[in-house]
Structure 1
Amino acid sequence: MMSLTKQVHVASVGRPAYSQTFPCEPSTAEIGRRLLRDVLSIWRLDRVADHALLIVTELIANAVRHTPSHKIRLMAELPSPTRLRVGVLDRAPTRLPAFRSADDDDESGRGLLLINAVADRWGYDLHSSGTGPWGKEVWAELRIEDGA
């Protein structure tokens, strides 16, 4: 069983964050869920784990299914005392997330709809260098209670 191997330290500046790079393949979803569960436990945010784990599963599945990336980066951070942000960074800046319509018997096509249903907000950010975009982060945020 893989678990968090890097100790999380509380810093006097900045915000708590964790990230790790993984292969862009279906088995990464399970590893990502375990890692995120460990991070949420350390941050004492177990109460949002169900929604956060659903989000990370869908974000990883979308990267695997819709990008040619060989690696993805899973990120979790607390951008404010009341928000948890979970994201997946890939190297496909031209493959932007978009809602799809899925028939009742379709086995896929509902990932962003699920994220939209459980997250307070979601979106994507392009990452670029001097020569243009090299990747994107698709993210979702959950509201957490004060004092978390």
Structure 2
Amino acid sequence: MTVTATPRPTGHPGYSQTMGRVPASAEVARKLVRTALAAWSQEDLIEDAALVITELVSNAVDHARLESIRVVVTRPSEKFVRLGVVDRSRNVPYLRTDSNGDNTRGRGLLLVDALTDRWGTDRYRWGKQVWGEMKCD
């Protein structure tokens, strides 16, 4: 599947893009996040936001049902940027607190929890959006 890197503004203020449910989509999602944050003069958030969106996309790649996901970057208020990934699975992710031995998989939400001010899941009749919000300057 080919992954495109063309961000499409979906209204003010927000960016979203549908992409394949493949690992390469993480890089496309990071570019979309960088574009949005630069447009909103929030460059200081870019590094942490790139890590957050990478983890959210990775979870969707591993657990979603259909062949595509949607990455959404919005400003729900003047004080926050929201990074989200929408997929068609209704399974809600949970924060793992077990060490799980030497396994490095399954702990992405710990990173999301550490780098965001708040995170959660919005459930829809047809799927969900997992999101994290970061405070703006």
**TM > 0.5 fold call:** yes
Q: Residues 60-71 of structure 1 correspond to what in structure 2 (within 5 A)?
A: 60-71=57-68
How well do the aligned residues superpose, as a CA RMSD in angstroms? 1.8
Alignment size in residue pairs = 133
Structure 1: stretches of 5+ with no match in the other structure: 128-132
Aligned-residue sequence identity (percent) comes to: 39
Q: CA deviation at 1:69?
A: 2.4
Corresponding residue for residue 106 of structure 2: 109
Distance in 2 between the 1:97 and 1:20 partners?
22
Please state how far the C-alpha of 1:3 moved relative to its aligned partner. Answer: 5.2
Give runs of aligned pairs for residues 30-41 of structure 1, distance below 5 A: 30-41=27-38
User: Which residue of 104, 126, 135 corresponds with 1:134?
Assistant: 126
| Partner residue of 1:43 out of 37, 40, 55 | 40
2:94 partner amino acid: A
5+ residue gaps, structure 2: none
Give the whole-Å Cα distance in 2 for the aligned partners of 1:110 and 1:98: 10
Q: Give 3-state SS (helix, strand or coil) of 1:48's partner.
A: helix
CA distance, structure 1, for counterparts of residue 89 and residue 6 of structure 2: 27
Could you tell me whether the CA contact under 8 Å between 2:55 and 2:108 is conserved in 1? yes
Question: Where does 1:1-148 land on structure 2 (aligned, <5 Å)?
Answer: 4-6=6-8, 15-93=12-90, 95-100=91-96, 101-127=98-124, 133-145=125-137
SS of residue matched to 1:98: coil
Deviation at 1:103, TM superposition (A): 3.3
Structure label with greater radius of gyration: 1
Show structure 1 runs of 4+ deviating over 3 A.
2-6
Provide closer, same or farther for how the CA distance between residues 39 and 4 of structure 1 changes in structure 2, counting only shifts above 3 A.
farther
Per the normalisation by structure 2, the TM-score is 0.88
CA deviation after TM superposition for structure 1 residue 5, in Å: 4.9
